[in-house]
Structure 1
Amino acid sequence: MTLTKNDLELLSEKGISESKVNEQIETFKEGIPFVQLEKAVTVGDGILQFDAEQEKQLIERFDETQEGMTLLKFVPASGAASRMFRALFNFLDAYDPSEESLNDYFERTGDTDMKTFSEGLTDFPFYRIVQSRISGNASSKDEEVYLFVKEMMSEDALNYGFYPKGLLPFHNYGDHTATPFEEHLKEAAVYAKNDDTAKLHFTISEQHGKMFNQEFSNIKERVSAAVKASFDVSYSYQKPSTDTIAVDMKNEPFRNEDGSVLFRPGGHGALIENLNEQNADIVFIKNIDNVTVPRFANTVVDNKKVLAGVLLKVQKKAFEYAELLNKGDLNSNQLEEIKSFVQDELNARFSEKLTSYSIEQQIDVLRDKVNRPIRICGMVKNEGEPGGGPFWINDRKGNISLQIIESAQIDMDDPEQANILKNATHFNPVDLVCGIKNYRGEKYDLMKFVDAKQGFITGKTKEGRDLKALELPGLWNGAMAYWNTIFVEVPLQTFSPVKTVNDLLKPAHQVQ
């Protein structure tokens, strides 16, 4: 591939090396192989399930052990709300209240999303905000719905489609509406508090920085008084150096009309670099749109503490064994004990050749397996929600491991693979508690535990031309592929994301 002087200047500006671009071009040429599913993870075979007494003990372990630890809540929050409002944008393009009634429009188009939206209008958290701006302007109920949507979505009005999802009104408390940003603050104050300060880090789009700062300034006194905690809030942006080159259908760099090479954001997998810059003993990870109203809050908080309790319990053993392995003088009984722990509790698998290795070689293998970041991942029973799921996979070297896999990574033309996916019992709600330090208290370099071959190649168009785009391995997928992974079944009530605007009508988002 030949790069021009302007190309090299662009690479320098983004902080991307020429070798990195060449690697990405090769990835396009070679393609990314499908993941080989071994079997779905189930309760008793990769997913832990606890009864009420066990949960109580795990919560107590966290409450008693976390004293003196640094806790952090890490919230990916860069997503804009445009996809959430897709049905509303389509409605504005397709409906004219002067030409037809709403009922005729619904019959003509079969637009069930807008029918649900119009019928639930008064239950949306932003109803009073929007209504106060259009009051008296409509001559009919149908026109009111149209003007309501127009006021929400127009660039010269509320422009909700431009907003980061984290700053939209999600919950109506009567005297104020709360954004997901605010709900994450309140939640963190219960389980991610160091002394009297809850520490949170949000990954956001640079263009939204001022908006988040303004929101925090507006609400922090009220929220601090309500939860009796102060907040240490920080932000970071997806790095330009994680952008990936786009190619045409011949795997040559895709060039814009001005001749410049097109780079695209690398997807949420790029955030492993942002996570790698954080320094805490326990990191809670949760998506920005997965919040709930107070009556479900105790379930959410208890669940987070259960996951953290599992982390602390397993980590204590892992640290003890890591220290033993570091000394290197182990007898065969100790080796067998550590092997059992690694296999039964850390869910790591060994090569069949392990028993033929010398004691020193076995210690090296165990040292490598134990000295890794640990993630405890909540998994919800599969009830038809979209999202990745937990699977045992067989990698290209014949190693079996626990992974969170997206459907796009699976060869759906392979009946056996498709059947494993179809029969999966659980899915990933993005509910993680992570230990990112070793037994000496030193932070791991998380970039060393990424499987670069678990990215995604997708088809896109720009300026009417086809292109191929490369997404980096997802944050909780390939970016954490070589972590020690433990899955725990969690209640469905802990998963209440807002993917479309009508999700705000669900009980999890209705205060009253």
Structure 2
Amino acid sequence: MLSTNDLNQIQQRGITQQQVEHQLEQIKAGFPFLRIEAAAAIGHGIMAPDDVQRDKYVTDWKQYLEEGHKVVKFVPASGAASRMFKNLFAFLSADYDVPTTDFEKHFFDNINKFAFKKELCAKCKANTGLSVCKLIEAGRYKDVVANLLEAKGLNYGQLPKGLLLFHKYEQGPRTPMEEHLVEAALYASSDGEANIHFTVSHEHLELFKGKVAEKLESFEKLYNIRLNVSFSEQKPSTDTIAANPDNTPFRNEDGTLLFRPGGHGALIENLNDIDADVVFIKNIDNVVPDRIKADTVLYKKVLAGILVDAQKKAFEYLR
């Protein structure tokens, strides 16, 4: 199944042949479900602080920040967006040309609501001479999808989730990466600074740096804060081989094996390199627009207050 070239490619990534074969066997056999003891409930894995307790934890976190501790927001951002668009990829390769499935119909019925609509329209005009609406009127639905997913257009089929336009604002759309900069300013800053660290894949590092360079100053002015942004790369040795439906290795057009970034557990080494007193960890696409950010900010502060309370007790015991 694996050629000499395959073995060389595997070795160059810092992975062993046995690891790849084990991954393929896991894909073939499937993964067992976790054994669940009970549903999480208040008092059984879930805390439910009342208003007084909640305010206390928020105050504890505020005092902790005023003491000058270093806080870092750690964001795994290596995830590719290709799985988000699997239904649209299926439409592109389908033997029909008009929206047929419920998903396809819903996508085109709501296309004007997407944050990327304006940019998609510009790509469609550049490549076909027609806007998104005109292409739809002409029944050229696949041209719209191709300009969304392929390199000639927005290339969303190959970009990481952190660089897709997610939310609409009057000032312009934002990517998830930008939303995390905002969150860092709102609940993870001290001494007028906020530190945020993104783990990214090597091929997307310069794209992330470019987006930060483009947007950083505006967010610093908006929140009157200095944002210190850093990056690290997920190690190739933690990637997972991709497989076909028949469980054979999936190959690129040039015959090489395709590897996908491993899960967030693969980032434990990156996390271990972070020097901070408190680290917030949050997935790149777990973001909301400003109009509903208040709860996110409040309960991040509550969680942080609970943490520093526990930390204080632990330090007392040590002393």
Give the TM-score category using the shorter length: 0.7 to 0.9
Instruction: Please identify the structure whose Cα radius of gyration is greater.
Output: 1
- String of CA shifts for 1:319-343, please: whole Å, max 9, x gaps: 21233xxxxxxxxxxxxxxxxxxxx
1:384-423 to 2 correspondences below 5 Å: none
Are the aligned partners of 2:123 and 2:154 in contact in 1 as well (CA < 8 Å)?
A: no
1:41-190 to 2 correspondences below 5 Å: 41-67=40-66, 68-94=68-94, 105-106=98-99, 109=100, 111-135=101-125, 137=130, 138=134, 141=137, 143=139, 145-190=141-186
- The 2-side partners of 1:215 and 1:60 are apart by 34
For residue 112 of structure 2, what is the amino acid of its counterpart?
T
Structure 1 equivalent of residue 282 of structure 2: 286
SS for the counterpart of 2:36 is strand
How many pairs does the alignment contain?
A: 301
- The 1-side partners of 2:135 and 2:32 are apart by 58
Are the aligned partners of 2:71 and 2:190 in contact in 1 as well (CA < 8 Å)?
A: yes
Are the aligned partners of 2:160 and 2:204 in contact in 1 as well (CA < 8 Å)?
A: yes
Higher relative contact order, structure no. (Cα contacts within 8 Å, ≥ 6 residues apart): 2
For residue 147 of structure 1, what is the amino acid of its counterpart?
D
- The 2-side partners of 1:292 and 1:306 are apart by 18
Are the aligned partners of 1:187 and 1:301 in contact in 2 as well (CA < 8 Å)?
A: yes
1:324-403 to 2 correspondences below 5 Å: none
Report the aligned-residue RMSD.
Answer: 3.7
Tell me by how many angstroms 1:272 deviates: 0.9
Are the aligned partners of 1:242 and 1:265 in contact in 2 as well (CA < 8 Å)?
A: yes
SS for the counterpart of 1:290 is coil
The yes-or-no answer on 1:211 pairing with 2:207 is: yes
Q: Identity, % of aligned pairs?
A: 43
Q: Gapped runs of 5+ residues in structure 1?
A: 98-104, 248-253, 324-512
Tell me by how many angstroms 1:285 deviates: 0.8
How does the TM-score come out when normalised to structure 1? 0.52
Are the aligned partners of 1:7 and 1:261 in contact in 2 as well (CA < 8 Å)?
A: no
- String of CA shifts for 1:236-285, please: whole Å, max 9, x gaps: 112133346899xxxxxx899x9x99977543211111111111111111
Structure 2 equivalent of residue 306 of structure 1: 302
- The 2-side partners of 1:163 and 1:174 are apart by 24
How does the TM-score come out when normalised to structure 2? 0.81
SS for the counterpart of 2:38 is strand
Deviates more, 1:289-298 or 1:208-217: 289-298
Distance change in 2, residues 1:129/1:37 (3 Å): closer
Are the aligned partners of 1:76 and 1:287 in contact in 2 as well (CA < 8 Å)?
A: yes
- The 2-side partners of 1:7 and 1:144 are apart by 43
For residue 81 of structure 1, what is the amino acid of its counterpart?
A
- The 1-side partners of 2:124 and 2:9 are apart by 50
- String of CA shifts for 1:156-187, please: whole Å, max 9, x gaps: 22211111111111122233211111110011
Distance change in 2, residues 1:210/1:189 (3 Å): same
Structure 2 equivalent of residue 277 of structure 1: 273
- The 2-side partners of 1:287 and 1:172 are apart by 20
For residue 198 of structure 2, what is the amino acid of its counterpart?
F
- The 2-side partners of 1:14 and 1:140 are apart by 44
- The 2-side partners of 1:262 and 1:160 are apart by 18
- The 2-side partners of 1:32 and 1:121 are apart by 36
Instruction: Name whichever structure is richer in strand by fraction.
Output: 1
Are the aligned partners of 1:205 and 1:237 in contact in 2 as well (CA < 8 Å)?
A: yes
- The 1-side partners of 2:10 and 2:92 are apart by 39
- The 2-side partners of 1:141 and 1:246 are apart by 38
- The 2-side partners of 1:304 and 1:242 are apart by 30
Are the aligned partners of 1:78 and 1:203 in contact in 2 as well (CA < 8 Å)?
A: yes
- The 2-side partners of 1:147 and 1:8 are apart by 39
- The 1-side partners of 2:165 and 2:151 are apart by 17
- String of CA shifts for 1:170-206, please: whole Å, max 9, x gaps: 1222332111111100110111113122111111111
Q: Gapped runs of 5+ residues in structure 2?
A: 244-248
Structure 2 equivalent of residue 268 of structure 1: 264
- String of CA shifts for 1:363-398, please: whole Å, max 9, x gaps: xxxxxxxxxxxxxxxxxxxxxxxxxxxxxxxxxxxx
Are the aligned partners of 1:191 and 1:305 in contact in 2 as well (CA < 8 Å)?
A: yes
Tell me by how many angstroms 1:61 deviates: 0.8
